[in-house]
Structure 1
Amino acid sequence: MAEAPDAQRALFDLDTLLTDDERAVRDTVRRFATDKVLPHVPDWFEQGVLPGELAAECGSMGLFGMHLRGYGCAGMTAVEYGLACLELEAVDSGLRSLVSVQGSLAMTAIHKFGSEEQKQHWLPGMAAGEAIGCFGLTEPDHGSDPAGMRTRATASGGDWVLNGTKMWITNGGIADVAVVWARTDEGIRGFLVPRGTPGFTVHDVTKKLSLRASVTSELVLDDCRVPAANLLPGVTGLRGPLSCLNEARYGILWGALGAARSCFDAAREYALTREQFGRPIAGFQLTQRKLVNMHLELTKGLLLALHLGRLKDAGRLTPQQVSLGKLNNVREALKIAREARGILGANGITLEYPVIRHMNNLESVLTYEGTDEIQTLIVGQALTGLAAYG
């Protein structure tokens, strides 16, 4: 008789590396994601929608800004946050994106660089899911090279006037506030642009074949005027947005493993029940080889994520280590998804199984918050001391 679906993870007994609190957080988020979200995700993906009420449910679970302290945030550890990201993305990358853009990008920018008044005004509502944020850095012509941004903010009396376009912005269409990065005479600065500000319009990106259960938007700023109080006072230069991206990448290096686990579990269960030539295909050597290799990479990715999480909780994690984690774990997650698709054969391309959905989503995860190539160059510079971006 085949072993239970979780038996394969007992090979490495990873649960013994987690504390009771970490396991409790993981199990709570898993139940929420599996019971409340998973039954609806295939339809949302097919329809290209993300229900607005999902944000309130995530807020009630304490998922938004859960790694931040104060202002209604849960103040959990980096490992606990990583485990939550894994369980969310095991359901869908769009769900994890909703949470990580809200917490690791928009809320982190305000938490790190905002004034006390800005923090008090925005963070409690964002933590509760009553207000949604987005993060406007990427532009149509400047993705991997944010230093080339064209969006500009000009001082005008007691206000700032913003002009420019931001593209591929997760949560843009549902956001109550956008953290927009713009060039000024003093350098790159961050601005809080609330929904409904004159000159600020949002257009959702449609016809996506990836991250369909997620809101992706274009932000247009046309003589958009905000008061000086909306300037984030705590940072000047690219250090601000890049430090937020580093927080998002940390969540991704955990989250991608959730998608990989879902694909592995689907492939293993299918291989145990699908019969060809009179026996389950799991009994064929080639299929077992695929499952073993998938499991090895998934387990190594989990060990890497946990190590980086422990370093982060100890205050020792570097941006280069985060890039290494994202580079490896997203790359291997996509390989696992593709291998799982092959094991499922023609059934692997239908939404009856989660594999093609995860595979398509991971194509976006490979690109956003720093492409595979950019992560490679960051790690390469760490190894050689030479920058090779040009």
Structure 2
Amino acid sequence: MMNYKYRIYPNTDQQAKILDWLETCRGVYNYALRELKDWIASRKCDVDRCSLSKEYIIPADTPFPSYHLQQNNLPKAKKINPKLKEVHSQVLQTTIRRLHDTWDAFRSRSFGFPRFKKFGQFKSFLYPQFKENPLKDGCIKLSKIGEVAINLHRPIPDGFTIKQVRVLSRARHTQWYVVITIALDVEIPENPPIGRAIGVDLGLEKFVTTSDNFTVERPKFLKDLKGKLKSLQKRASRKHKGSKSWEKAQIKVARLHHKIANTRKDFHLKTAHLLCDQAETIFAEDLNTVGLNRGMLRKECIDASFGQFLDLLKWVCWKRGCYFQKVDPRGTSATCPECGATVQKALKEREHICPECNYKTHRDHAAAQMVRLRGLESVPKDFGERKLSGNGGLSGVNSLDKCLSRNAQL
């Protein structure tokens, strides 16, 4: 299964209906969450005593408000609240499913309890299935909403069927998208670790440094537009909250944030393709991105978004037939890739100079070489840098010069 994201352009009436649906789904989500929290709270009190402040009076034989139970209660709720009938029935069911998926994730990891959604925080709803292809003549047909114009910038591949469609709102409900999930009943084997292998080191000085000493500069997405963002936020703060001028100012801020996010993602995808041009096997550091985003350099790390890049690199490698694997990053900067000696150095020291073998190179380059060595140790022993059939050189060498020239333009 794959997801394709497209921009849609609903008219005024359709936008009003979609916004109304989002608020209805938000109400269903919050009501179901309230039932869940009340049932849990009623079971917290000890059997032989009651709380001094308050008590949830729920009968002891009341079953847990599971997904199937709350879903079966939707027809009864529609009789009490006729507004629920305006929303597609399966959209409401997937809203309940969304809550219980969050609840199951909380139980498995012991943090991240579901929260109530405030006004405007519910930004998507899902059509879980379609009887026929909803795409036709530059439009997508959404049940009870109608045909909505869509920018089909890339066609659906032959043989794939549309399984579900999620409608998304971005930039304070001024930009609309659909995420189309397509599927094909085939079994795709995993990419084997063959061909040329490289190690990738991520950093703030150079965004990417490979074991071949190929580097990519790190664009500062937020810092470059920080002045404009600060100006727009300053104007918005001077407006009366809730007024039309305040809403217009907030939309400008949201659109700029959206532009920054899109620019960052575009850079990540292009960098991932650059790496796949060079090798068929890529090893990268398994960074603790959550810890980096809470550290001393959290603002720079969040702007670089290493976690998003690693996820996109894994996806691009799979799509292009490359092998991708993460390795343990601990000690990669403090180990000599030539002799394996431990070379401790402070963060400000950017050169790697080994006192044992006198190997000298950049700190990030040495770390990337260690990432490659650790990756090679984790794959089968018969793996090596194999030559492609019918080619006198290693895969990716011919495109390396092209990558270096493109890197200079980034």
Q: What TM-score does the superposition give when structure 2 sets the normalisation length?
A: 0.23
Higher alpha-carbon Rg: 2
Q: What TM-score does the superposition give when structure 1 sets the normalisation length?
A: 0.24
Instruction: Please state which structure has a larger fraction of its residues in helix.
Output: 1
